[in-house]
Amino acid sequence: MEEVKKVALVTGAGRGIGREIALALASTGIDIALADISFPDDSATLKGVIALNRKGVEVKLDVSKAASVESALEAAEKELGPVNILINNAGITRDNLILRMSNEEWESVININLNGAFNCIKSVVKNMTKAKWGRIVNITSVVGQRGNAGQANYASSKAGLIGLTKSLAIELASRNITVNAVAPGFIDTDMTKVLPEKVRELLLEAVPMKRLGTVKDIANAVKFLVSEDASYITGHVIAVNGGMYT
C-alpha cells in the first residue's frame, strides 16, 4: 500500500494530556492540527511540534458545536492536508451528587465529552472512508468503566464513548479505519496537583501501583494505537490505570 501522509487532529491539545499526545505523535513524523477552545499565550504545544520538525497549526473550536468543528477542520486541512488521524481528547467535569446536579451540569458534560466526539468523528470520517485509511482514538476514563460517586454526568459521557468506539469499530473496519479508546486512571496533571494532600493519598490507595499515571503514559498508548503496529486492533479499550480497574 502506498505510504499515507499522516495528519492528526488532537482536541484539547492546549495543555495536559492533549499536549503530550500531540508531541508524541509529532515525534513519529505526523503533522498536527492542535484544536482547543483556547490556547495559552506561550503556544508551547505548537512550538514543541515545530521543534520536532513537523508542521503544526492551532485551530480554535468548540467541539459541542458541529459548525465550529467543521470550520476548524477546514482551516486545519487548508494548512496541512486531509486529517486521517483523530484524537478525541477534549473533555470537562462538572461534578455533583445527583440530587444537586443541575440540568446544565449534566448537559454541558454530555455535550462536550460525548457529543463533541461524535461531531469530530462525523467531520473527518468521510475523507478517511474515501482514502480507505484512518485512525480514531477516543480518550475515555476509568470512571466510564467503573463509575464514581458525584460524577454521574462524567461517567455517563465516558461510558458512552466506549459504546461509540465499539460500534464504529465494526462499522468502519471494512474501510481500513480503526477505532479504539484509551481509558486513563488517575493521572498527574495540573488538576490533580492542586488537590489537598489527603485527597491525593486517598487516590493513591486506590491504585495498586501506588503512583499516579503520567501524561506520557497516556500519550504512549495513543501513539501505539495510531501506528502500523496496531493496524489489526480495533474496538479495543486500553486501560492505563496502574491496576485500579481490570
Catalytic residues: 154
Helix (H, G, I), strand (E, B) or coil at 238: strand
Distance CA(35)–CA(38), nearest Å, equals 8
Going by C-alpha positions, the residue among 166, 73, 67, 71 that lies closest to residue 127 is 73
Strand extents, DSSP E, 50-176: 56-60, 85-88, 134-139
Find the helix or strand (DSSP H, E) in which 13 lies: none
Q: Which residue has the cell 476509568?
A: 142
- Provide, for the chain, the percentages of residues in helix, strand and coil under a 3-state DSSP scheme, each rounded to the nearest 5: 50, 15, 35
Other residues' Cβ atoms within 10 Å of the Cβ of residue 28: 13
Task: For residue 186, report the phi and psi dihedrals to the nearest 5 degrees.
Answer: -85, 120
